[in-house]
Amino acid sequence: MAPLTTMDTPVITLIGECMVELREEADGRLSRGFGGDVLNTAVYLSRLFGPHGSVRFATIMGDDPYSNELINAWDCEGVNCELVGRKKDSRSGLYIIQTDESGERSFHYWRSVAPAREFMNSDWQDLQNKTFDSEWIYLSGISIAILGDEGRERLLAALNDAKDKGKKIVFDGNYRPILWNNKAIIKNWYEKFWTLSDIALAGTEDESHVFGDKSAEETLKRLVGYGIPEVVVKQGTGPILLAGAEGQAYVPILAASDVIDTTAAGDSFNAGYLFGRLTGQNMSSSAQIGAVLSATVIQYPGAIIPRTNMPDLEAIEFT
């Protein structure tokens, strides 16, 4: 699959959820922000594109003050919020991040009332039509996990129809065990969405949990076997594995020197990788862009780092 050229203006729609984020500080106090795996990718991708790309976030939010605050924040980040539905008399979800001494994070969620899980309901048909009429469509394992079986079936049908119309699908296999009840069911759904993908963004830890893969190479082989044109396998601080029209490659990465919070490590990598691919970079250079952004993000607390702390990609020579 050839990347777009810099003459094009990419348009990508990302489907997911976003919640109020509370971070536990060292003294026990909580600081407030926002986050959600797909939204994190949308924000970082919007920052990278600037005015040279359109990033649309598709979800359902409530009409409470926090939902208003979150949507305003996304708008300030340059994310197009025209595909954000609003459900009357409902409120946003919430999660708390705790980090250990090494910066590894754990999450605690209050998301059961969040209306994002209703995105594929028939009540939102007009919003869905606009969402799937996009050049690129991005979603994650969390996007599908919150929908339930009926919602996932409707989503599959919509994505199949979009592919028939020439749209491209990007799937990130982000996995949260708490959102699933049965491993056999998980594997079934993941296989369906992987098979639909034009770009697969996988993590070894997620794929090991879902499929029992013993190595990054095993994950790469399985995903290539689904017929996915472009496959990216992330393995923490290990090399990134790539497979696509350019062949297969290992891309080594430089580990961050001071890890504060690993929240959004994979989400920011995805943003950097897609930015590279949609602006004409090859797969290896795109992976390097993603790795640099990810290494920067994990040196700051929370999912979304200050804009002033974004890495200067123009000062880095990618190969």
Mean pLDDT computed over 88-95? 92
- pLDDT greater than 90 at residue 95: no
pTM of the entire predicted model = 0.92
CA nearest to 170, candidates 140, 142, 214, 211: 140
Catalytic residue among 37, 172, 213, 267: 267
pLDDT of residue 4: 44
Q: Which of 19-33, 34-48, 64-78, 125-139 has the lowest mean pLDDT?
A: 19-33
> Residue 293: CA atoms inside 13 Å, Cβ hemisphere, count?
32
Mean pLDDT computed over 93-114? 80
Q: Do 65 and 73 contact (CB within 8 A), yes or no?
A: no
Q: How far apart are CA 286 and CA 214, in angstroms?
A: 26
pLDDT of residue 12: 97
Express each pLDDT in 250-275 by its tens digit. 999 887 878 888 889 999 999 999 99
Express each pLDDT in 211-245 by its tens digit. 999 999 999 999 999 999 999 999 988 999 999 99
Q: How confident is the model at residue 113 (pLDDT cuts 50, 70, 90)?
A: confident
Residues 6+ apart with CB under 8 A from 156: 192, 193, 196
Q: Do 23 and 302 contact (CB within 8 A), yes or no?
A: yes
Per domain, the residue ranges of the chain are: 11-315
Would you call 267 a catalytic residue per the annotation? yes
Mean pLDDT computed over 73-81? 97
Mean pLDDT computed over 118-125? 96
**Burial degree of 36 (CB within 10 A; 0-12, 13-18, 19+):** buried
Express each pLDDT in 174-220 by its tens digit. 999 888 988 889 999 999 999 999 999 999 999 999 999 999 999 99
Q: Do 55 and 80 contact (CB within 8 A), yes or no?
A: yes
Q: How far apart are CA 244 and CA 242, in angstroms?
A: 7
CA nearest to 11, candidates 82, 70, 59, 67: 82
> Hey, what are 158's tokens?
């919509």
Please state which of the four CATH numbers 3.60.15.10, 3.40.50.300, 1.10.1370.30, 3.40.1190.20 is assigned to the domain occupying 11-315. 3.40.1190.20
- pLDDT greater than 80 at residue 7: no
**Burial degree of 2 (CB within 10 A; 0-12, 13-18, 19+):** exposed
